[in-house]
Amino acid sequence: MSFNNFVLKFSQKLPPEFSNKISLTGLKIIYKLHLINVLFSSATRENKINKYFGLDFPNKVGVAGGLDKNANYFHVLGKLGFGFVEVGTITLKPQSGNPKPRIHRFNNEETIINSLGFNNVGSVKALENIEKNKKNFSGVLGVSIGKGKEISNERAHEDYLHLLDYFKDVADYYAVNISSPNTNDLRKLSSGDYFNKLIDEITNKRDQISKGFSKYKPIVVKISPDESLNNLEKIILYSLASGVDGFILTNTSLDHDYNLPGGVSGKPLRQKSEESLKFVRSIVNDKAVIISSGGLMTKEDAIKRFSLKADLIQLYSGFVFKGNSLLQDCLDVSST
């Protein structure tokens, strides 16, 4: 049995939230012992630089938001072979999230349901963690930001603007999360006046921040797979007009038959995520970067996403179920 399969078999026997933590901690120990290159072959690959929104991506395969919520592991995931990691989602203040159990994993169906609710250490501690680990990371660092649980949608823009400012020295790009189903009313930020105001304020802030740096700080918006096509088109058109740099398609979906709170990810999300990608690409053409996330579980899925013109891809559930072997497959696909 390969080391990858051994780790997966072991971790799948543990309660999901604990298992995520144990697996990432185990990986960090392996990293500290300088054994990543020995135990995982993808770490020794040659990378070819890909340029998107002014950033040099060592490859096109990234870690989706939520796996490294508190920025403790991104350097380790980079060493494993990922070209970019999106840490967070981070809120201004620490939050404990929704009651446990809040992650349910169905191994046979390759499905996860989560209702975490932005549990994270908050911006101050997260920035310390990023500063500590970034010197050991040569990939692209995305910082995913979200509004606090107690903050009304009328005041949500204040949180996002503070967070943009707070992470400006360390973020290579920002992911604006308005699509988690686990914070009350968050998804309402993607409609009408809330959305337009929020996006305009965010792109203005980005311009201000970028002026103060030699580097441009792109903004990508992470979108729900449950948007109607009508609203999705509005979101995309308004974002493009406002100067958004890219989109992440998609977050988890509330459209599932499991009698559990939270959003579904993994295999059942595949089709919705592919449909969103196809639809949004047809609107944006080459005017924005598209990062495809959702139900990417196999090498064939990765081939399909690139054939549907995703620029970059992100893994979450697929990585939980398949580990390093899926990363390797995706790296193979993306480098051809």
Q: Smallest gap, in angstroms, from Cβ of residue 38 to ligand FMN?
A: 27
- The strand pair at 61-63 and 312-315 is best described as parallel
**Nearest CB to ligand FMN, comparing residues 133 and 274:** 274
Q: Smallest gap, in angstroms, from Cβ of residue 129 to ligand FMN?
A: 15
Task: Give the range of 3-11, 31-39, 77-85, 290-298 binding ligand FMN by CB under 6 A.
Answer: 290-298
Q: How many CB atoms lie within 10 A of CB 238?
A: 15
Q: Smallest gap, in angstroms, from Cβ of residue 115 to ligand FMN?
A: 9
By the rule CB under 6 A, 65 interacts with ligand FMN: yes
By the rule CB under 6 A, 295 interacts with ligand FMN: yes
In the range 188-227, which residues lie near ligand FMN by CB under 6 A? Answer: 222
**Nearest CB to ligand FMN, comparing residues 224 and 242:** 224
Of the residues 11, 23, 114, 292, which one makes contact with ligand FMN according to CB under 6 A: 114
Tell me the C-alpha distance between 102 and 96, whole Å.
12
Task: Give the range of 41-49, 164-172, 212-220, 313-321 binding ligand FMN by CB under 6 A.
Answer: 313-321
Site size toward ligand FMN (CB under 6 A) is: 27
The long-range contacts involving 3-8, CB below 8 angstroms and separated by at least 24 positions, are 3/39, 3/40, 4/40, 4/323, 4/324, 4/325, 5/323, 5/325, 7/323, 8/321, 8/322, 8/323
Q: Which residues contact 229 (CB under 8 A, 6 or more apart)?
A: 279
- The strand pair at 219-223 and 246-249 is best described as parallel
Tell me the C-alpha distance between 28 and 23, whole Å.
9
Bond from prior residue into 225 cis (ω within 30 degrees of 0): no
By the rule CB under 6 A, 315 interacts with ligand FMN: yes
Has 293 been annotated as catalytic? no
The catalytic site residues sit at: 180
